Structure 1
Amino acid sequence: MSVYTQLTDDQFAAFCQSFGVSFARAIPITQGVKNSNWFIQTTDDADGSHSYVFTLFEERPPSDIEKMAVILNQLAGKLPVAAPLPVMSSKNEDTQRYVMRYENKAITVVPCLSGTHPTRNSAVMCRDMGAALAVLHKTLQDLTPAEDYGVPLYPWAEVRDREMQYMPSDEAMLMSDIWQAYSDLPLDTLPQGLCHLDMFADNTLWDLQTGDERLTGLLDFTEVSVEHYVMDIAITINDFCTTWGNATEGESVDFDRHKMRAFLEGYESERPLSAAERRTLPIFLAKAAVIFWLLRLNVIHYNRTEGRTGDNIMVKNPDLMKRLAAYHWANVEKAQNTVFVLEHACYKDDDSNNDVEDFKLIGVFATLQKAQAAIEQLKDQSGFKEYPNGFHIDEYPIGQINWSQGF
Structure 2
Amino acid sequence: MEYFIYALNHTYTDESHTDTKFLGFSNSIEDLEELKTKAVILSGFRDYPESFFTDCYILDKIHWNEGFQEVIGEIGRDYILKGDEIDDNCISIKELGLNTVFSVSHYYTIHSFLDDERYVGVFSSLEKAEKAIEELKNKPGFKDHQNDFNISKLDLATLLWKTGF
- If asked which structure has higher relative contact order (CA below 8 Å, sep 6+), I would say 2
- Which structure carries more strand by proportion? 2
Instruction: Tell me the TM-score normalized by structure 2.
Output: 0.40
Instruction: Tell me the TM-score normalized by structure 1.
Output: 0.17
- Which structure carries more helix by proportion? 1
